[in-house]
Structures are given as C-alpha cells and as structure tokens.
C-alpha cells in the first residue's frame, strides 16, 4: 500500500481518461495537482482564519497576491507530479490490475470523495 493515496487517485483518473490522454495521463496529473493545491490552500486559509480575524486576507487587499501564490503552488505541484508519475501508468496498472470488483468500487468511491470534498470546503470557507 506504499504511496496509496495520490498514486491510486492518479491511476484511477489516468485509467478513466486513457482514451484521451494515452499513458502519459496529463488529465490525471492536473487532477491530482489540483486536489493537492486545494488541500494545501485550504489548510493555509483555515489556519489564517483561526489566527486572524474573519476575512482579513481579503480585507487587506491581498487577493491578487494570494491568487498568484495559489497558481505558483499549482504549477510547482504539477511539475513535481510530472516527474513523479511520468511513465508510471503501466507500473500502477500491474500493481492494481487484480483488484476485486468490490475493492475497485470501494476505492473508486474513495477517489470520488477525495475529489469532491476539497471543493465543498472551498464553498464553506468562501461563505464564512
């Protein structure tokens, strides 16, 4: 189960988009990087909200700076993940090819939840 979390998410996304992307899995790469960026950003925003008063980042007029940092973080994660997952689809396919239908469904549900939950937190954080 080494590296299960994002490796498996990458594998399932790449498998879903294999007809469009081929084995390079660029869509899966973007998806994993986006989720990682959202999680890091949300942890930062939650910490910032606890430490400072409500909406202090936005009140200070730092929204452009925060947006630039988020884009830079996303691009940085995309680059790291490109090197991490380059030519790994076949390896992951071999690692998880013999999963039972129940395991595939359970892990597939987990992947779906992981892809949706960060967006729910974005909405919650934005409303508060």
Tens digit of each residue's pLDDT (9 = 90 or more) over 60-108: 666 777 788 889 999 999 999 999 998 888 888 888 888 888 988 888 8
DSSP class per residue in 19-45: HHHGGG-HHHHHHHHHHHHHHHHHHHH
What pLDDT score was predicted for residue 75?
A: 95
pLDDT of residue 72: 94
% the chain with pLDDT above 90: 18
**pTM of the predicted model, to two decimals?**
0.79
Q: Where are the alpha helices (DSSP H) in 1-128?
A: 4-16, 18-21, 26-51, 56-59, 63-85, 89-96, 101-127
Phi, then psi, of 61 in degrees rounded to 5 = 75, 25
Asked if residue 1 has pLDDT above 60, the reply is no
Are residues 43 and 87 in contact, defined by beta-carbon separation less than 8 angstroms? no
Greatest mean pLDDT range, 10-19, 29-38, 108-117: 29-38
How much is the pLDDT for 60?
62
In this prediction, residue 58 carries a pLDDT of 56
Note whether 42 and 122 are within 8 A (CB).
Answer: yes
At what angle are helices 4-16 and 63-85 packed, to 10 degrees?
Answer: 80
Is the pLDDT at 37 greater than 70, yes or no? yes
Percentage of the chain with pLDDT > 70?
Answer: 84
Among 110, 88, 106, 104, smallest CA distance to 7 is for 88
């Amino acid at each position: 189960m080494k590296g299960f979390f994002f490796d498996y998410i990458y594998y399932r996304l790449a498998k879903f988009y294999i007809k469009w992307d081929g084995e390079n899995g660029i869509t899966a790469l973007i998806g994993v990087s986006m989720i990682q960026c959202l999680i890091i950003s949300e942890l930062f925003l939650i910490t910032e909200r606890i430490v400072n008063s409500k909406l202090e980042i936005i009140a200070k007029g730092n929204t452009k700076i925060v947006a630039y940092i988020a884009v830079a973080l996303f691009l940085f994660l995309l680059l790291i993940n490109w090197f991490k997952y380059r030519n790994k689809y076949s390896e992951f396919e071999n690692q998880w090819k013999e999963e039972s239908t129940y395991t595939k469904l359970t892990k597939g549900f987990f992947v779906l939840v992981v892809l949706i939950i960060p967006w729910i937190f974005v909405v919650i954080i934005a409303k508060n």
